[in-house]
Amino acid sequence: MTTDTIATPAGAAAPAPGTPLLQASGVTMRFGGLTAVNNVDLTVNTGEIIGLIGPNGAGKTTFFNCLTGLYVPTEGTVRYQGTVLPAKPFKVTQAGIARTFQNIRLFANMTVLENVIVGRHCRTKQNIFSALLRGPGFHRGERESREKAMELLAFVGLDAKADHLARNLPYGEQRKLEIARALASEPGLVLLDEPTAGMNPQETRVTEELIFAIRDKGIAVLVIEHDMRFIFNLCDRTAVLVQGQKLVEGDSATVQSDERVIAAYLGTPFEGAPGAEEAAEVEAAEEHAAEAPEESEENDK
Ligand SMILES: Nc1ncnc2c1ncn2[C@@H]1O[C@H](COP(=O)(O)OP(=O)(O)OP(=O)(O)O)[C@@H](O)[C@H]1O
């Protein structure tokens, strides 16, 4: 009988920090006449948080899909820990890459805990026979999965809601649950597609802290986001895609000050750029001045 032992993730012996984990080389994806991703190289090393930014339709999600086996790139290769990845999402997850999606994909009618347990599927060896026979191994495996799922829920701050239905969670918490489910597969690298979309600034700050904590657990992160403050606070390096091509890659200062990036994407200097604080102070003073007559009118009454 198959027991429910937890499988070891591929490459579980943690590589030294700073060694290449993911290596995408010359990745190109064409849909008929449209080249959505054009000859993109990207390396993510252990211990890194890497950002991927670019205008709508730049090819960011398509690139993620090429990395995670949802698409077979028209050209190029994707290696994880030196091995070319198979173009099968399940095998990519088994190899050690997990992801979340731009549009939340939870099991809405399952509980929060069950959603995370499902995410552990590729690390267990349960099969139809062990489930039918329900021997000691099956129960041990179930208990372990439950405990690990609860640990992850505590990690993302959702343990108190373990028994709630996923569909009843507020939007920001559904995004956190997606992250917990991705972590349940014990990845070495997690790909997050717009993890703060629809979040308020407070939730965004919490997500930022959560991503730092994920990195501190030894999991590298590749993140797509449109929130530039979030990206430039968080990432060790950021790559900019424009019309499917990588325009620039570098640290936050390099990317923010690159004139091609400003022209093609940022438009105006990023709001956290030097000078923004002063501009905000002037704006606040102007608002205060505009409100002042009303205040004095009220005082006169
Ligand atoms: N399955 C598909 N078939 C045909 N064209 C596609 C397909 N998927 C994406 N595209 C096209 O590829 C281009 C890149 O799309 P993609 O969704 O990767 O961009 P993105 O940078 O993720 O955009 P956004 O920031 O809006 O999510 C777009 O022109 C899109 O219409």
| 19-96+188-270+283-289 and 103-186 share one fold | yes
Which residue's alpha carbon is at the smallest distance from atom 28 of ligand 1?
A: 57
Q: Which residues of the chain have pLDDT under 50?
A: 1-12, 273-275, 278-279, 294-301
Which residue's alpha carbon is at the smallest distance from atom 5 of ligand 1?
A: 31
The architecture CATH gives domain 103-186: 3-Layer(aba) Sandwich (3.40)
Return the C-alpha torsion angle 144, 145, 148, 149, nearest 10: -150
The confidence score (pLDDT) of residue 6 equals 32
Q: What is the pTM of this model?
A: 0.81
**What are the structural domain ranges in the chain?**
19-96+188-270+283-289, 103-186
Q: b vs e for 51-88, b when ≥16 Cβ sit within 10 Å of the residue's Cβ?
A: bbbbbeebbbbbbbbbbbbbbebeebebebbeeebeee
| Ligand 1 closest atom vs CA 63 | 18
Residues with Cβ within 6 A of ligand 1? 31, 34, 36, 54, 56-62, 102
Tell me the CA–centroid distance for residue 56 and ligand 1, in Å. 8
The confidence score (pLDDT) of residue 1 equals 32
| Ligand 1 closest atom vs CA 241 | 21
Q: Which CATH class is domain 19-96+188-270+283-289?
A: alpha beta
Tell me the CA–centroid distance for residue 244 and ligand 1, in Å. 9
| Ligand 1 closest atom vs CA 244 | 14
Helices 112-119 and 136-156: angle between axes, nearest 10 degrees? 110
Which residue's alpha carbon is at the smallest distance from atom 7 of ligand 1?
A: 31
Tell me the CA–centroid distance for residue 6 and ligand 1, in Å. 37
